[in-house]
Amino acid sequence: MKQLGEKALHALYSIRRHLNLHNLNPKLAIKIFDTIISPILLYNSEVWGAYIKNDFNNWDNSQIEKTHLRFCKLYLGVGKKTTNIACRGELGKFPLIINIYKRLFKYIIHLNSLPEEALAKQAFLISKDLHSKRITSFYGNIMDILKSYNCNTQITELESIAIQTLSFIHDNIKQKYLNFWKHKLENSSKLKFYNTFKTEYQLEKYLSTIKNPTERKALTKFRVSNHKLMIELGRYQKIPREERLCEICQSGEVEDEYHFANWCKAYSNQRENFYTTLRNKLTIIIDQAQLVDIMKSTEHETILSLSKYISSCFTERNRYLEIGIAVS
């Protein structure tokens, strides 16, 4: 797997030298990954997939998924330390272990269709015999996979797997990942803000709506907490959460995403322009308490206005830090 990961990463960087992935429509960028990079990563996975550790947490440490995550982070324009579940979530992409298992079970269907004298079928039957003797084998490993995804009650032997049951298995695995993702999200202190508005596991509309790369990147970083607000910087400096105060406005408040977008005096002009724009374009009552609803919005004008606002606030923040002046 390490060699496949390295080859795929080399191919990814080769594409990157000739093409700025970050500037592409997200669906096109994902298609490029799925048609060029993914086949390298998944080469022969219908065989070695039976021997990988069946654990979503550990899977992120595999060279295969690291390459997948590298693509996600390159496209989004975020740092390497950005939380993995958020990066995949923004693009609506599932970990490649799910694709591997789908290929694996398709291969089982193929093996079941082979005549008894075929060498691959003979090896499959030998593997089944080893499993019946409680000896670790290809057959037994796949049965363990079925058990871990609660599919073993309906599928008691691999010979019964057919095209009709493939979608049942695939859906069960995807649902288990979604449960895992939601649990991680709800229990992550780093993604506390993200958890307030990220409710659907899907490709986010803002990625295709915002054409300005700088503004889109600023909004992405704000969403997934890959920014330099004190709530995040203080994490690496081991400052207690309640002491990660805003150094820009000297208000004594924690500089988190809410303070930055809603209350910090440094961005009063940008904020007034932003909310005035929303009120004029949407003709509804908009106030600062509705930040989460604004973050959830899929309305074209709201997305564009939000990205411009967040980007301008970060620019203003950098200016204050450079000149070393606090807002009173």
**What does the domain layout of the chain look like in residue ranges?**
1-188, 205-323
The 10s digit of each residue's pLDDT in 215-271 is: 999 999 999 999 999 999 998 899 999 999 999 998 899 999 999 999 999 999 999
Rounded-to-integer distance, Cα 229 and Cα 254, Å: 9
Tokens for 84, please give them. Answer: 């993995």
Tokens for 101, please give them. Answer: 């298992």
| Helix, strand, coil content of the chain in percent (nearest 5) | 70, 0, 30
- Burial bucket for residue 164 (CB in 10 Å: 0-12, 13-18, 19+): exposed
Helix axes 163-186, 84-91, angle to 10 degrees: 130
Greater model confidence, 179 or 146? 179
The 10s digit of each residue's pLDDT in 7-63 is: 998 999 999 898 888 889 999 999 999 999 999 999 999 999 999 988 898 999 999
The 10s digit of each residue's pLDDT in 297-313 is: 999 999 999 999 999 99
Residue 211 phi/psi, 5-degree rounding, is -95, -20
The 10s digit of each residue's pLDDT in 156-173 is: 678 777 777 888 888 889
For the chain, what's the residue count?
328
Whether the predicted pLDDT of 289 surpasses 60: no
Q: What is the average pLDDT across 80-99?
A: 96
Tokens for 148, please give them. Answer: 């871990």
Range scoring the smallest mean pLDDT among 63-67, 83-87, 319-323: 319-323
Whole-model pTM: value is 0.89
The 10s digit of each residue's pLDDT in 186-200 is: 999 999 999 999 999
Q: What integer pLDDT is reported at residue 286 of this predicted model? A: 52
Rounded-to-integer distance, Cα 139 and Cα 47, Å: 11
